[in-house]
Structure 1
């Protein structure tokens, strides 16, 4: 199937984490040109040399998505380097410190919302001006199961992911008529370093890593975590011309845990 992604310019935020790296490689395989952003140059220096693709097909950029001026400048530079922007994948995310609502702090909540909500909004906002010029584009936000459910000691994270769902749906109503489709992917537990941190946040030393993983994995019908490659493949599909008539929706990747 031709997904129509050859030579499309894709921006992936949080590109040096587990899901981000898989998304970058999935787009490169389809012939897209990929701008890889990360908060730290050393992460880009580690990841980019592992990509076995022509050097002009990808480039790294240091961006703190919490800062609108940095996001705006990066989008302008990416557009100058690649000749425009067709697709943006706001993937950068942060789970914060586990805490019950009675113990909530402004610092913990703001740290999560600055990345998970404002970072997503800034990324979409400053990529849109280039997509609107093209009268075509795609936004695929990497959300979470937390966009649909609540979780003890994770009210800050779940609230941020619910906000992202509303943001994507609202964006779709605004730019859908301009040929830009906006959607999000909502995985539950994915086999990543972030998931290891979530396990540690919730269970501390009360469970071994194997016990913590089994606790979450057993909730899925197939009794395992999602693979980063699976999340990446769904993301690429949603970004493609094949999915152009899907607007404002989330694809839940939870192993069927919520149909029982």
Structure 2
């Protein structure tokens, strides 16, 4: 479907499960060379081996994106292995502990911001210089509908995802003339372990999942992966600094 991805070098963070895993499999089906990273090492290694068995080049590296030194090492080793970096999907993120603003802890705030916001910044900090060497590249950051609307009980998550969209727009403006496009994808509910945790901690949420999305269900991880591949493809060559809502109509209610 996307012939331009064949042999392109793609980094995916948070690749061991959920949207990251679905995106890794989608890129592998298009012949990309993959660098997968996560902190869930067993799952990440298993996925990388699955992709290699299909005949695609793929490596897995442990990377805690809240630690810029980890990110720097991951990007450096990726370029050492494959010679360049064409595409990055900065997907890793957490929801943290739920609770209203006045009930939250400093520890929870620091952890969510460290991964969701600082982590995305660190990824772009080290990915962009490698793309500048080739005078082209595409970055997609995983935000959320929580990056454009509020969600009671998830104040720090909402703040982090608003921040991701802000970083995305700023980087898009800074590097547009150097051939680098930067966009974000903003899913609503997606059938992933993260959604399972949110539902578990929100009484009555499970019964509402099919009704809170006008389309009548939560998204499948592959549907978000499809949106990411579109944003990384030549078909979106005039799109940068955009927040692509993949939300089944959630935000238009």
TM range, normalised to the smaller chain? over 0.9
Query: For each residue in 1:170-203, what CA deviation from the matched residue of structure 2 results, as whole angstroms up to 9, or x when unmatched?
Result: 0000011101100011000000111000112222
Compute the displacement of 1:69 (Å): 0.7
Q: How many residues align?
A: 252
Provide the C-alpha distance between the structure 1 equivalents of 2:45 and 2:10, rounded to a whole number of angstroms.
19
Structure 1 unaligned residues grouped into runs of 5+: none
Residue of structure 2 in register with 1:231 after alignment: 224
Query: For each residue in 1:73-106, what CA deviation from the matched residue of structure 2 results, as whole angstroms up to 9, or x when unmatched?
Result: 1100100101111111110000000011111211
Compute the displacement of 1:5 (Å): 1.3
The alignment status of 1:251 with 2:252, answered yes or no, reads no
Structure 2 unaligned residues grouped into runs of 5+: none
Provide the C-alpha distance between the structure 2 equivalents of 1:92 and 1:48, rounded to a whole number of angstroms.
17
Compute the displacement of 1:2 (Å): 4.0
Residue of structure 2 in register with 1:217 after alignment: 210
Provide the C-alpha distance between the structure 2 equivalents of 1:105 and 1:3, rounded to a whole number of angstroms.
48
Compute the displacement of 1:39 (Å): 1.1
Q: Secondary structure at the match of 2:152?
A: coil
Query: For each residue in 1:129-173, what CA deviation from the matched residue of structure 2 results, as whole angstroms up to 9, or x when unmatched?
Result: 110011110000111110011111100100000000000000000
The 3 A distance-change label for structure 1 pair 2 and 199 is closer
Provide the C-alpha distance between the structure 1 equivalents of 2:39 and 2:251, rounded to a whole number of angstroms.
34
Compute the displacement of 1:124 (Å): 1.0
Compute the displacement of 1:6 (Å): 1.2
Detail structure 1 runs of 4+ shifted over 6 Å in the superposition.
none
Provide the C-alpha distance between the structure 2 equivalents of 1:17 and 1:102, rounded to a whole number of angstroms.
32
Residue of structure 1 in register with 2:54 after alignment: 53
Provide the C-alpha distance between the structure 2 equivalents of 1:123 and 1:23, rounded to a whole number of angstroms.
17
TM-score, normalised with respect to structure 1: 0.93
Compute the displacement of 1:230 (Å): 0.5
Name the Cα RMSD after superposition: 1.3
What is the correspondence of 1:195-210 to structure 2 with a 5 Å cutoff? 195-203=195-203, 207=204
The alignment status of 1:40 with 2:40, answered yes or no, reads yes
Provide the C-alpha distance between the structure 2 equivalents of 1:145 and 1:90, rounded to a whole number of angstroms.
16
Residue of structure 2 in register with 1:171 after alignment: 171
Compute the displacement of 1:3 (Å): 4.9
Residue of structure 2 in register with 1:87 after alignment: 87
Q: Secondary structure at the match of 1:34?
A: strand
TM-score, normalised with respect to structure 2: 0.96
Provide the C-alpha distance between the structure 2 equivalents of 1:115 and 1:196, rounded to a whole number of angstroms.
20
Q: Secondary structure at the match of 2:4?
A: coil
Compute the displacement of 1:41 (Å): 2.4
Compute the displacement of 1:244 (Å): 1.8
Q: Secondary structure at the match of 2:184?
A: strand
The question of whether the paired residues in 2 share the 8 Å contact of 1:189 and 1:217 is answered with no
